[in-house]
Structure 1
Amino acid sequence: MHDSPREIGRKIMNELMGDGYVEGKDKNANAFTSALNEYSEEVCFGRVWARDGIDRKLRSILNIAMLTALNRPVQLRHHIEGALNNGVTVNELREILLHTAVYCGLPAAGEAFKAAEEILKKRDLIA
């Protein structure tokens, strides 16, 4: 028997964000938010992130750039965590965000740098 896209998505989310991430989301879910959580699990992670063609590190790099461009710091923080779990280095992260300053604008990149700094300090990757 094959796992459903949602089951695959939940597995990928835990691999990306760390064991227990999905279970933590489940504890906070309610009738209002559960539809969005299920959509994210099934479509975003269970169908798109599960595809071959590009690896997870590159998907993480793309997400960082897009979330910076969209100025979405809350989601960006989650995806910075995932990017680090997917092998993006501190130096690569800095270069990705510096690159966004040119194409997305300094204010958006500044917010992204703040979000990244917060995560990197929490992980003791920078002083």
Structure 2
Amino acid sequence: MSHHDKGDEGMEVRREVLGDEHVDRATANATAFTRDFQELITAYAWGEIWTRPGLDRRSRSMITLTALVARGHHEELAMHVRAALRNGLTVDEIKEVLLQCAIYCGVPDANTAFRIAQQVLSDEGAL
């Protein structure tokens, strides 16, 4: 599959996982300076990795939440809590992922993650 095809496939998955509103905003805000980066993450992260058959999207969401907590990427965490709901995780499953993170990533990081997730889940009407 060509880079262009992976970009098209990646855009489809990106929209399914993150939602049209988020993707439309990200692409509309792309500049001449950031456009290549947007294309890279669409083709590589979404077209190459999220489309692989070895893990389902629920599992990929759990892994992504954990990695974002571990690295302290709070802006991305909020986006991926929404994505986790779209990918079929329940509120209780998201809570369990964050509890697991408290042990392996640290209580302060999990504390922040719980605060962010609670706000997102509330905004989404899940709580």
TM-score, with structure 2 as normaliser: 0.93
Secondary structure of 2:116's aligned partner: helix
Instruction: Provide the aligned C-alpha RMSD in A.
Output: 1.3
Match of residue 100 from structure 1: 101
**Match for 1:26: what amino acid?**
T
Matched residues in 2 for 1:73 and 1:83: separation? 15
Match of residue 88 from structure 2: 87
Shift of residue 111, structure 1, vs aligned partner: 1.0
- How many residue pairs are counted as aligned between the two chains? 125
Unmatched segments (≥5 aa) in structure 1? none
Match of residue 14 from structure 1: 15
Shift of residue 70, structure 1, vs aligned partner: 0.4
Match of residue 113 from structure 1: 114
Secondary structure of 2:20's aligned partner: coil
Unmatched segments (≥5 aa) in structure 2? none
Matched residues in 1 for 2:40 and 2:68: separation? 19
Runs of 4+ aligned structure 1 residues displaced above 6 Å come to none
TM-score, with structure 1 as normaliser: 0.93
Match of residue 59 from structure 2: 58
> Does the 8 Å CA contact 1:77/1:115 hold for their aligned counterparts?
yes
